[in-house]
């Protein structure tokens, strides 16, 4: 739905308006007046006919003039009724500042349930409760309380943001604003009883006045729509930055106690952001720098960068940080290099990153000439200029030259500059007029430039990807109820979804194992089959490397062991499987409360258990995403062959991951847990084999 009337209301009612401007019911009135809001301001309070020079109404139903938004500041017990009133009055949106809901315990949870019901019944959409309010800078809407109510001089701009912590969110806004970032919408989203973060971000992306969206996010109960937000971000070319908080046990605990937000598993959020092109940030500085760089409205065609500096050290640290971020500093083209060599003094450097040295102070055309050369170099996708901390006329000269050069190209051009701005107004003006961003340190610039390139790359890589259609295959039969399937049943489910399983035979207890296994090739894995023994190895229910001759004895042994380990277990027989070999991996499915089905991939043994080298993607997904999962493993090199071993069949593993992702999606209403461990990835193009599997239904 459109949030146009929320962000640009014709009139605003303050329900619970206070005679004291220092109180929560007074702040919004003060702020709206200070900000010069042009629409109607309607205090609602049955006690007064007039408040602060404004006509005051007993309730919103009494309003005659257009009113699109209510700010609610009555005590918690009265909020549900206030929302009901808005519905009657035809007010489509409300911002509920009042606290005292689920964050305060049982009584609050009851009030929040009532509020939710009032929202559903009235059709009024609400921000909050327990929030600090909302700003829409260009429309002068300051529907908020707290220190932000006193600071109505925020610079207007194209950054819209939302945060699940009002005080901290407005601190971010404050700090970013002081560093030159202009804002459009700022929303403290509070408990998100109705409007939650993904919907807000999506609305920001729909807004023509917004060019970048940012969220401070602790967690959201329905996180899957974030994938759609990411897709819309790539489609519109407007980046979405998310600061995910609660990434450690200590942070998770803190988040739980302050807003009762369920933070969810950081690993899954991280994977989801990568999967869909959302940019993760972890402090205010990256937000500032990215807002500036994206603000230029240019995206690089690739990940190369050309660097011109006036101080060698700047180039060195830029290169270090740029390469870490995924950029490359290719050699200049021969004609660029030859030209630079003629211009740059011997104690400088004509190679990328070029150091033209302080010589530019003596030769007033040097800088422009070098810049022109580098800009013409077709091997470079973006250009950065590092001018250290020069100020005054030198800074003005450099910045004017850069501004002029940037106008002649559509490549991103950015500047590192930390000169004193008080002494350098001409320089600042020149850059601002040309829309050329500057960042204070080479490291910060390198990190931001790398993210700019990655976003552009994500658009190329991720946008063409299609989420596969998932259908439940014919022949799939699942038992009802919360059941742990035995290995044979679990593998049958896998087979239904086209996942390659070891060649094997299930032999009922008492049957002739050797005869039943005649068509298989030794050596064998012999495993007890029982829903009651999900942890077969611990139970002694597995024998590996068994020969044809040893089958009968092995079968007896695994059954006896299982019976000892789980007295009374219902034994369905033994499974005789051909032993597979190859690179050992494991594939799991997590049916996450926020994300739904998610596929996990790890390498076997210590890699998963000790090094936690595991990657995730939200299901379902296609082959390209599966390939990303494999490439993201820290030990991914193992697939290329190691110590003379042939490369492993990565492509078959990727296909299997896709199949698992479809299976996870189809089964998700019933799936509690799914583990395929180990999955052997064979050499060459010999495929993969799922050697064991466990499906737990709910």
**CB burial readout 199-211, b (16+ within 10 A) else e:** bbbbbbbebebbb
Interaction between residue 514 and a copy of itself (CB under 8 A): no
Interaction between residue 303 and a copy of itself (CB under 8 A): no
Distance of CA 506 to the CA centre of its chain: 44
Interaction between residue 328 and a copy of itself (CB under 8 A): yes
According to CB under 8 A, which residues from 131 to 170 bind a copy of itself? 146-147, 150-151, 163-170
Question: In angstroms, what is the minimal distance from the CB of 668 to a copy of itself?
Answer: 30
Interaction between residue 377 and a copy of itself (CB under 8 A): no
According to CB under 8 A, which residues from 636 to 655 bind a copy of itself? 637-638, 642-643
Contact map string, positions 416 to 435, toward a copy of itself, x by CB under 8 A: --xxx---------------
For a copy of itself, the closer CB: 296 or 440? 440
For a copy of itself, the closer CB: 357 or 517? 357
Six token digits for residue 361: 């102070």
Interaction between residue 392 and a copy of itself (CB under 8 A): yes
Interaction between residue 561 and a copy of itself (CB under 8 A): no
Question: In angstroms, what is the minimal distance from the CB of 549 to a copy of itself?
Answer: 25
The residue assigned the tokens 């083209």 is 333
Out of 7, 57, 154, 243, the residue judged to bind a copy of itself by CB under 8 A: 243
- Alpha-carbon distance of 590 to 668, in angstroms, equals 10
Task: Classify the C-alpha dihedral 274-276-280-286 as positive or negative.
Answer: positive
Six token digits for residue 584: 């050992």
Out of 56, 72, 340, 390, the residue judged to bind a copy of itself by CB under 8 A: 390
**CB burial readout 393-422, b (16+ within 10 A) else e:** ebbbbbbbbbbebbeeeebbbbbbbbbeee
Q: What is the DSSP secondary-structure string of 260-286?
A: ------HHHHHHHHHHHTPEE--SHHH
Closest Cα partner for 554 from 520, 581, 578, 524? Answer: 524
Interaction between residue 414 and a copy of itself (CB under 8 A): no
Out of 71, 91, 279, 319, the residue judged to bind a copy of itself by CB under 8 A: 319
**Which residues face 55 on adjacent strands?**
50
Stretch of residues binding a copy of itself (CB under 8 A), selected from 89-97, 194-202, 276-284, 659-667:
276-284
**CB neighbours of residue 369 within 10 Å:** 16
According to CB under 8 A, which residues from 2 to 41 bind a copy of itself? none
- Alpha-carbon distance of 682 to 504, in angstroms, equals 18
Interaction between residue 388 and a copy of itself (CB under 8 A): yes
CB 452 within 8 A of CB 412: yes
Out of 195, 245, 601, 690, the residue judged to bind a copy of itself by CB under 8 A: 245
According to CB under 8 A, which residues from 198 to 237 bind a copy of itself? 216, 218
Task: Map residue 630 onto helix, strand or coil.
Answer: helix
Interaction between residue 189 and a copy of itself (CB under 8 A): no
DSSP H helical ranges for 277-346: 284-295, 312-325, 334-343
Interaction between residue 579 and a copy of itself (CB under 8 A): no
Contact map string, positions 98 to 137, toward a copy of itself, x by CB under 8 A: -xx--xxx--x---------------------x-------
Out of 62, 609, 669, 698, the residue judged to bind a copy of itself by CB under 8 A: 609
CB 178 within 8 A of CB 288: no
Interaction between residue 347 and a copy of itself (CB under 8 A): yes
Interaction between residue 178 and a copy of itself (CB under 8 A): yes
Interaction between residue 364 and a copy of itself (CB under 8 A): no
Stretch of residues binding a copy of itself (CB under 8 A), selected from 38-46, 224-232, 249-257, 366-374:
249-257
- Alpha-carbon distance of 496 to 517, in angstroms, equals 23
């Amino acid at each position: 739905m459109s949030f146009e009337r929320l962000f640009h209301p014709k009139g605003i009612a303050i329900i619970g308006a206070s005679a004291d401007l220092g109180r929560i019911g007074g702040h919004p009135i003060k702020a709206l007046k200070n900000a010069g809001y042009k629409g109607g301001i309607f205090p609602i309070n049955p006690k007064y006919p007039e408040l602060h020079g404004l006509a005051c109404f007993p309730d919103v139903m009494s309003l005659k003039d257009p009113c699109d938004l209510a700010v609610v500041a009555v005590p918690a017990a009265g909020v549900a009724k206030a929302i009901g009133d808005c519905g009657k009055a035809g007010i489509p949106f409300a911002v509920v500042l009042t606290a005292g809901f689920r964050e305060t315990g049982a009584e609050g949870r009851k009030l929040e349930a009532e509020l939710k019901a009032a929202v559903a019944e009235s059709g009024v959409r609400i921000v909050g409760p327990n929030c600090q309010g909302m700003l829409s800078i260009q429309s002068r809407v300051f529907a908020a309380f707290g220190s932000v109510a006193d600071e109505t001089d925020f610079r207007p701009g194209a950054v819209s943001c939302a945060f699940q912590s009002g005080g901290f969110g407005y601190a971010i806004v404050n700090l970013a604003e002081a560093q030159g970032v202009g804002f459009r919408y700022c929303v403290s989203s509070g408990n998100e009883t109705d409007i939650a973060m993904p919907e807000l971000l999506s609305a920001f992306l729909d807004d023509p006045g917004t060019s970048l969206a940012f969220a401070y996010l602790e967690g959201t109960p329905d996180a899957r729509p974030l994938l759609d937000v990411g897709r819309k971000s790539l489609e519109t070319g407007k980046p979405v930055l998310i600061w995910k908080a609660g990434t450690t046990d200590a942070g998770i605990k803190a988040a739980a106690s302050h807003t009762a937000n369920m933070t969810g598993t950081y690993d899954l959020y991280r994977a989801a952001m990568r999967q869909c092109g959302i940019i993760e940030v972890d402090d205010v500085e990256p937000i500032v720098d990215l807002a500036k760089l994206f603000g230029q409205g240019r995206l690089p065609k690739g990940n190369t960068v050309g660097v011109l500096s006036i101080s060698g050290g700047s180039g060195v640290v830029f290169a270090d940080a740029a390469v870490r971020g995924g950029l490359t500093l290719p050699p200049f083209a021969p004609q660029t290099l030859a030209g630079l060599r003629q211009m740059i003094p011997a104690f400088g450097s004509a190679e990328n990153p070029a150091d033209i040295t302080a010589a530019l102070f003596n030769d007033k055309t040097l800088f422009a000439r070098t810049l022109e050369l580098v800009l013409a170099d077709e091997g470079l996708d973006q250009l950065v200029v590092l001018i250290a901390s020069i100020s005054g006329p030198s800074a003005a000269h450099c910045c004017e030259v850069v501004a002029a050069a940037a106008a002649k190209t559509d490549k991103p051009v950015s500047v590192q500059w930390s000169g004193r701005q008080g002494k350098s107004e001409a320089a600042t003006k020149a850059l601002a007029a040309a829309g050329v961003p500057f960042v204070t340190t080479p490291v910060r610039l390198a990190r931001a430039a790398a993210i700019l390139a990655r976003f552009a790359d994500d658009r190329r890589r991720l946008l063409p990807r299609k989420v596969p259609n998932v259908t439940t295959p014919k022949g799939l039969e699942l038992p009802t109820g919360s059941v742990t399937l035995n290995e044979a049943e679990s593998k049958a489910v896998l087979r239904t979804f086209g996942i390659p399983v070891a060649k094997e035979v299930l032999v009922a207890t008492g049957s002739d194992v050797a005869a039943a296994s005649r068509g298989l090739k030794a050596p064998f894995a012999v495993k007890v089959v029982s829903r009651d023994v999900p942890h077969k190895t611990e139970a002694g229910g597995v024998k590996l490397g068994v020969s044809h001759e040893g089958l009968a004895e092995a079968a007896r042994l695994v059954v006896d062991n299982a019976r000892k380990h789980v007295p009374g277990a219902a034994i369905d027989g033994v499974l005789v499987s051909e032993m597979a070999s190859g690179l050992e991996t494991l594939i799991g499915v997590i049916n996450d409360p926020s994300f739904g089905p998610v596929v996990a991939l790890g390498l076997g043994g210590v890699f998963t258990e000790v090094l936690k080298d595991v990657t995730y993607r939200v299901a379902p997904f296609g082959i390209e995403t599966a390939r990303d999962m494999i490439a993201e493993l820290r030990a991914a090199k193992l697939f290329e062959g190691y110590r003379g071993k042939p490369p492993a069949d990565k492509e078959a593993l990727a296909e299997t991951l896709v199949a698992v992702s479809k299976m996870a999606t189809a089964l998700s209403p019933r799936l509690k847990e799914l583990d395929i461990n180990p999955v052997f990835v064979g050499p060459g193009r010999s495929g993969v084999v799922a050697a064991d599997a466990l499906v737990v239904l709910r």
